[in-house]
Homo-oligomer: A and B are copies of this chain.
Amino acid sequence: MQEIIAEMMGVVRSRTPLVHHITNYVTVNDCANACICAGGSPVMTDEAQDVPDIVRISSAVVLNIGTLNQRTVESMRIAGNEADRIGVPVVLDPVGAGATAYRTAVARELMGYDAVRIVKGNSGEISVLAGMEGEVRGVDSVSGAGDGHAAISLARSTGRVVAATGETDYVSDGEVTYAIGNGCGLMERVSGTGCMVSSLVGAYAGACGASLEAVAAALTVFSVAGEIAGEGSPGPGTFKARLLDAVHNLKSEDILERAEIRRL
């Protein structure tokens, strides 16, 4: 699998997929920069009149409900419809699903679009969406199935590729499941690392297709970059800058030598 990931890393960089984001205003800048560093070209628009034109030229769409509001949810519906119509893959990051009724409802609704081929959340969010026990406090996972069962279950019931992130990340299409290690403790101390990896998933799905392998590759790339960036970082502020550096500078060898990905 390491070889496939290293190869996909090159594909993303050579294709520069355009990744349309309708996302939150908290971490949007980090998402844009992470997407660029991975080899993608991010574009953000949430205006109803603008969304269809952008979806049509995009290789993938990322819908992140971190600071959803009624206007932008409507824009997400427009994006979902257009993506359904023309077959662009959509990544859903159901930020805070389980923390409020509105977020849970919107996340479930957006999963109804066929184009939403990939759902990527933390283990609490994925557990909630899978109908399992899970607790989400604000936008952070407090508890959830940390063993991959939530991702597997949601993948089976919905036919989507599902990623549940945590100390170990799990990615499943319901049949095959990967567990990914790497990362470092500072990733939990920076707002938006979860959002950033969703943008990377968008770039990988845009360049390589919305496959289990592409999602696993994006998560692995980000985790290995996080591990490298964490080495010698004095704190979260410096770490965030170094994390972007590491995504940008990541080499095939880093994946081949470091990636802790295994099939369950």
Contacts and interface: CB of A to CB of B under 8 A. Distances in A.
Contact of A71 (B25, B53, B58, B69): B69
Given A18-B137, A25-B25, A25-B28, A33 B191 contact: yes
| Chain A contact patch, size range | 35 or more
A249 B237 contact: no
A114 interface: no
A100 B33 contact: no
Interface stretch (A161-169, A171-179, A213-221, A239-247): A239-247
A143 interface: no
Given A102-B53, A244-B236, A29 B32 contact: no
A244 B237 contact: yes
A18 B138 contact: yes
A99 B138 contact: no
Given A47-B69, A50-B103, A139-B43, A238 B234 contact: no
Nearest to A137: B18
Contact of A246 (B43, B44, B235): B235
A138 B245 contact: no
Contacts of A103: 50
Given A47-B102, A54-B100, A236-B248, 7 more contacts: A24-B44, A29-B191, A41-B140, A44-B66, A235-B248, A237-B245, A238-B245
Interface of A: 18, 20, 24-30, 32-33, 36-37, 41-50, 53-54, 57-58, 66-71, 96, 99-103, 137-140, 189-192, 234-238, 240-246, 248-249
